[in-house]
Amino acid sequence: MSFEQIRLRFGRSFRRGDRVLCEGRLGTITGTTFPHVRVRFDGRQISVPCDPCELALGGVVNAAPITLEPQRA
């Protein structure tokens, strides 16, 4: 299955080389395997098939937690 077929079937658009987040792990898209997107997770040498619905594009992780300060009157 190609990226175009995945876009038509799942409504999700991906390209080889996109950075993604899947189940809390960052990785890079390497290709497709019917009907999955193959992702090479950081620190690994081999890509694994992932469900296109579980991928988040961008792969941006907020490393610094947001702290709320009390409001002053």
- The enclosing H or E element of 7 equals helix 3-10
Q: What is the pTM of this model?
A: 0.76
DSSP 33-65: ETTEEEEEETT-SS-EEE-GGGEEET-----SP
* Token pair of 20 as six digits: 């993604």
List pLDDT tens digits, range 14-55. Answer: 999 999 999 999 999 999 998 899 999 999 999 999 999 999
